[in-house]
């Protein structure tokens, strides 16, 4: 399978760092003793990959002290890379950074939109932004759009894991954005006993 092969290739490449490797396809019995390690999603957006719409990514995060401190997102079909160190300059064939848009734009998952997402938009966001527009996007490309400034917020109630968000969290945080739990408004927690994320909202840097 593509995800297994990608995981093996990334693990082999990162072995030179000597750091532990954790991915969706390669989970250790425990990571409690890891001070620094790689957290990888070798194929984020499986449904988009299956649908051949190009909206899938490879996500690589460096974790340190329970936080993603560095992130890389690679979109193979788009041939673009986003990095937390230079998030303003995505690299690739079509790497122009879009200018700040006019309408307040809410991003939702292309394949995993839920009723909870629509309820949050209607009850929390629409009263503040009556003319908001909703756009759908696959994989961690939603976070990339927030960092670039072509959207304002991404609402997620679908099932995600730490490897789905870690690299994107690092990139968006470096850009001045935030990824917050809906339940209490605190940042997403990493290095939990298990990997699932709660529902969250990712915010672009303030205009």
Return the domain boundaries, the chain. 2-92, 105-203
For residue 63 the two structure tokens come to: 């974790």
Residue 94 confidence (pLDDT): 44
Contacts of 102 (CB under 8 A, 6+ apart): none
Helical (H) or strand (E) element with 37: strand 36-44
pLDDT band of residue 2 (cuts 50, 70, 90) is confident
The number of helices, as runs of H, and strands, as runs of E, in the chain is 5, 11
Model confidence pLDDT, tens digit, residues 123-166:
999 999 999 999 999 889 999 999 999 999 999 999 999 999 99
Common-topology check for domains 2-92 and 105-203: no
Please determine, for residue 56, whether its predicted confidence score (pLDDT) is greater than 70.
yes
pLDDT band of residue 25 (cuts 50, 70, 90) is confident
CA dihedral 22, 23, 24, 27 (to 10 degrees): -30
Which CATH code fits 105-203?
A: 3.40.190.80
107: nearest Cα among 137, 85, 66, 62: 137
Q: How far is residue 103's CA from residue 62's CA, in Å, rounded to a whole number?
A: 34
Instruction: Tell me what the mean pLDDT of segment 190-198 comes to.
Output: 92
Q: What is the DSSP code (8-state) at residue 125?
A: I
Instruction: Tell me what the mean pLDDT of segment 87-91 comes to.
Output: 49
What does the angle CA 123 – CA 134 – CA 140 come to, to the nearest 5 degrees? 105
pLDDT band of residue 101 (cuts 50, 70, 90) is low
Instruction: Tell me what the mean pLDDT of segment 184-188 comes to.
Output: 97
Helical (H) or strand (E) element with 65: none
| Top-tier CATH class for 2-92 | alpha beta
């Amino acid at each position: 399978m593509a995800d297994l092969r990608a995981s093996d290739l990334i693990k082999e490449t990162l072995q030179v760092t000597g750091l532990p490797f954790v991915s969706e396809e390669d989970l250790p019995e425990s990571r409690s003793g890891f001070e620094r390690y790689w957290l990888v999603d070798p194929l984020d957006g499986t449904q988009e990959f299956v649908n051949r719409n190009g909206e899938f990514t490879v996500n690589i995060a460096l974790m340190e002290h329970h936080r993603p401190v560095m992130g890389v997102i690679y979109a193979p079909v788009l041939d673009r890379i986003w990095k937390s160190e230079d998030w303003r300059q995505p690299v690739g064939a079509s790497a122009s950074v879009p200018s700040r848009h006019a309408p307040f734009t809410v991003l939702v998952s292309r394949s995993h939109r839920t009723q909870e997402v629509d309820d949050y938009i209607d009850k929390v966001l629409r009263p503040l932004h009556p003319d908001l527009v909703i756009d759908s996007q696959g994989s961690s490309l939603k976070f990339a759009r927030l960092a670039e400034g072509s959207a304002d917020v991404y609402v997620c109630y679908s099932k995600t894991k730490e490897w789905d968000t870690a690299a994107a969290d690092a990139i968006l945080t470096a850009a001045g954005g935030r990824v917050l739990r809906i339940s209490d408004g605190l940042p997403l927690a990493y290095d939990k006993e298990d990997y699932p994320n709660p529902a969250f909202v990712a915010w672009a840097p303030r205009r």
